Amino acid sequence: MLGNGGNGGNVRIVASRHYTSLSHINATYRVPDGKNGRPKHMHGENGETIEIKVPVGTVIRQVEPWKVIPPKKEIDIHEDPRLNLLEKHYIFRSNYLPQEDRIRFLKESIPRKRKRQPLLEFDLKNDGDSCTIFEGGRGGLGNPHYQTATILSPGFAGRGEMMEDRYYEFELKTLADAGLVGLPNAGKSTLLKAVSNAHPQIAPYPFTTLNPYVGTIDFEDYWTMTLADMPGIIKGAHQNHGLGLRFLRHVERNKIFVYVIDLAGEAPWEDLETLQSELELYKKGLTNRPSIIAANKADISESAKKNLEILKSKTNLPIVPISAKYSKNILQLTGLMRHLVESVKE
């Protein structure tokens, strides 16, 4: 007598701080089948679980297939259509042809289909967070399961459950303690390089930063914090202008914001207004997050000093005048950043 077949394998996702991109993810994964049941009531082994490592901050969403794949044309191998149905759910002994009572019994024993579940979504924010995005089908029941008072030696066993394909999209959102928010060429990349171990591209043209850079700030007491330099935002970013949503989907994952404002510009207070407006239009309440202003290029001209005073009158946020290029007033800025980060409740 045959034992039950093993369940199909699962797909498990695990967040790891040792990964920084999704470039290693395959487009398709095939889950191993469970093993067949064996004689002497020995059950088959379950299929192995596939484990996929992703960076911390990965969001996984189940999506509907982009197109409907037409079902394969069924081939009738029996004159009796009921037997074609049963072949989908049962394995028959060689040359076995069930009689009328057996057909009726097998039809009544067909396993019910699983109810369709809502689309899944997972947000892996911490190192070691995990989720199962696919559970293998149930193994087929061995023929002892079908024994009855009138069926002493069943010539049939259940087939394993066939699972439908599932489709997921993976999105990596940068996680950092503090995020640098500023217009293009405000000096975010220069500031990140001045205070951390990151080495972003720096050039005199807009959108130098096309992807987020994350650096680590090490303090003398061995306390560390992460700082992310996001692609520069422009007016209309919430409508996907410029780098638009590519920027905004990263900025929402930071504990605090550091608005990097160019004091040498014509109206720095208007730059701050643009940044806060775009954040709020993208996600209401985002500007309520703890924030400070790094007033950059404070040493360039007399107009920068005047602009600093006007900026102070336009906002209640703490302002630290700095020169990222020459690393002036950086310790005051990083000290205030640390204070804010430590004050944020997890």
Domains by residue range for the chain, with CATH: 11-69+116-171 (2.70.210.12), 174-343 (3.40.50.300)
Average pLDDT over residues 102-124: 87
* Spatial contact of 5 and 140, defined as CB atoms under 8 Å apart: yes
Strands 130-134 and 319-321: unpaired
Taking residues 12-29, what's their average pLDDT?
Answer: 87
Q: How far apart are CA 194 and CA 50, in angstroms?
A: 42
Tell me how far apart the alpha carbons of residues 327 and 191 are, in angstroms, rounded to a whole number.
8
- Tokens read off for 151: 């069926």
Tokens of 337: 């950043």
* Burial status of residue 116 (CB atoms within 10 A of its CB: 0-12, 13-18, 19 or more): exposed
What pLDDT, on a 0 to 100 scale, did the predictor assign at position 80? 75
Position 238 scores a pLDDT of 40
Measured between alpha carbons, how far is 95 from 86 in angstroms, rounded to an integer? 15
Per-residue pLDDT, 243: 41
pLDDT in tens, 231-265: 655 454 444 434 434 556 667 778 899 999 999 88
| Residue 136 CA: distances (Å) to CA of 46, 86, 336 | 9, 22, 51
CB-CB contact of 252 with 283 (8 Å): yes
Segment 19-39 mean pLDDT: 87
Number of CB atoms found within 10 A of residue 331's CB: 11
The pLDDT mean for the chain works out to: 83
Is residue 116 scored above 60 in pLDDT? yes
**What pLDDT is attached to residue 47?**
92
| pLDDT value for 237 | 42
Task: Give mean pLDDT, residues 127-144.
Answer: 91
Region 147-167 average pLDDT: 87
**Which pLDDT tens digit goes with each residue over 287-319?**
999 999 999 998 877 889 899 999 999 999 999
pLDDT of 245 reads: 46
- The pLDDT-based confidence of 60 (bands split at 50, 70, 90) is very high
Q: Where do we find the tokens 């360039």?
A: 300
pTM of the model: 0.61
* Higher per-residue pLDDT: 21 or 194: 194
Residues 6+ apart with CB under 8 A from 338: 217, 219, 223, 225
Name the strands in the sheet holding 254-262, side by side, starting at the edge strand that comes first in the sequence: 213-218, 224-229, 176-181, 254-262, 291-296, 319-321
What is the average pLDDT across 124-144?
91
Q: What was the pLDDT predicted at 15?
A: 92
**pLDDT (0 to 100) of residue 244:** 39
CA pair distance 110, 94, nearest whole angstrom: 21
Residue 215's pLDDT band (cuts 50, 70, 90): confident
Range from 70-84, 148-162, 291-305 carrying the lowest mean pLDDT: 70-84
Residue pair 137/111 in contact by the 8 Å Cβ criterion? no
Q: What pLDDT is stored for residue 268 in this prediction?
A: 93
**pLDDT for residue 135 is more than 80:** yes
Structure tokens at 77: 């191998």
pLDDT higher than 70, residue 68: no
The least confident of 105-109, 202-206, 283-287 is 202-206
Residue 260 token pair: 């990097």
273-289: b (≥16 Cβ within 10 Å) or e:
ebbbebbeebeeebbeb
What pLDDT band is residue 74 in, cutting at 50, 70 and 90? Answer: low
Which percentage of the chain shows pLDDT scores above 70? 85
Question: Residue 330 pLDDT > 60, yes or no?
Answer: yes
Structure tokens at 3: 């034992």
pLDDT of 133 above 90? yes
Q: How far apart are CA 212 and CA 155, in angstroms?
A: 62
Of 311 and 144, the structure prediction assigns the larger pLDDT to 311
Q: Which residues of 142-167 are buried (b: 16+ CB within 10 A; e: fewer)?
A: bbebbeeeeeeebbbbbbbbeeeebe
More confident residue, 3 or 201: 3
φ and ψ at 320, to 5 degrees?
A: -120, 110
The percent of residues in the chain predicted with pLDDT above 90, rounded, is 33
